[in-house]
Amino acid sequence: MLTQEQLAFYHENGYILVKGLLSREEAAAYRQECHELADRLAAQRNIDATWGSARDAIMATDTKILHCHDVQFYAASFSRLLVDERITGVAADVIGSPNVQLHHTKMFIKPPEKGSPFPLHQDHPFFPHANHSMIAAIVHFDDAPLEKGCVRVVPGSHKLGPVPHRPEGNWHLSFDEYPLEASQPCPAEAGDVLFFSYLTIHGSGVNVSSEARTTVLIQMRDPADPPTIDTHKSRGQGMILRGIDPLTIQQ
C-alpha cells in the first residue's frame, strides 16, 4: 500500500518508484529464474525483441534485448509474483480500484554492453482502454543504474492524454519532439518496483554496463475498464490478481 504522499506523487507525476518492495534475496531468486528461462528459450529460437524504431533511433544494429511474453506460463514462481499483495496492493492504489486484472507480462533482459533501448512512447496506442486505468509495474531483479539503460519517464506526461504516435517499428513518439535525453532517468535497485500509467511517456537507454539488466513488467487494469479495440491478446489475460471481477461474465 502507498502512503498519502506517495499516492499524491503518483497522481502528479504519473509514476512512482517503490523502493525495496521485494527483498534483495527474493529479487536474486527471480533474476536466476529469468536467466534460466532465457537460456531455455534461446536454445530454441531467437528471443531478441529490439524495436525497429529503437534501431532507427540509435542507428545501431548490434544491440539486443532478450524477451519473453507471459512468463507465468513458463515457471510457477512468476505466477506467485503476479498475485503478490505487495505488488497488487500498490497497483490497486494507483489504479483506484480494489480489483486488479492482468493484461499481460513480459520479461526483459538487457544484456551487458549492448542492451537495446526503447524510444519514448506511451503504452496507450498498443492497447487503448476506455477509462485509462491501465498501468505497468516494472519489477527490478538487479540494480538498474543509468548506465544499465534504466527506465526513463517524462513526469506529468500522463496529463497530456493520448498523444499521436508513429507506427513504424512499434508505436513511438517523434525522435525530434521527444528525444530520450529529455526524459528523467529512474535508476532502481534490485527489489524496487516502478509503477506508471499507460499514458506516462517512458523509454530507456542502452545498457552499456558490464552486467545484464533484468526485469519483469506486469501490465494491469481495473477489470471494469473495457478495451476500446480488440487487440494485444495475451495468454492469461483477464486473470484477476486482486479482489474480484465485478462484471462476473466470463467466457
Ligand X SMILES: O=C(O)CCC(=O)C(=O)O
Give residues in contact with ligand X (CB under 6 A): 108, 118, 123, 138, 151, 202-204, 215, 217
Q: What is the DSSP string of 141-189?
A: SS-B-GGGT-EEE-TTGGGG-S---B-TTSSB--TTTS-GGGSEE--B-
Q: How far is the CB of 62 from ligand X (least distance, A)?
A: 18
| Closer of 133 and 215 to ligand X (Cβ) | 215
| Closer of 7 and 49 to ligand X (Cβ) | 49
Measured at CB, which residue is nearest to ligand X? 204
| Closer of 99 and 204 to ligand X (Cβ) | 204
Is residue 73 left, alpha or beta, with left meaning phi > 0 and alpha meaning psi from -120 to 50?
A: alpha
Residue entry with cell 489475460: 237
Q: How far is the CB of 120 from ligand X (least distance, A)?
A: 9
Tell me the C-alpha distance between 161 and 250, whole Å: 30
| Closer of 97 and 204 to ligand X (Cβ) | 204
Q: How far is the CB of 139 from ligand X (least distance, A)?
A: 11
* Paired sense of beta strands 193-197 and 135-140, if any: antiparallel
Q: How far is the CB of 246 from ligand X (least distance, A)?
A: 28
Q: How far is the CB of 106 from ligand X (least distance, A)?
A: 6
Tell me the C-alpha distance between 148 and 138, whole Å: 15
The grid cell for 239 is 486473470
| Closer of 74 and 127 to ligand X (Cβ) | 127
The grid cell for 124 is 496507450
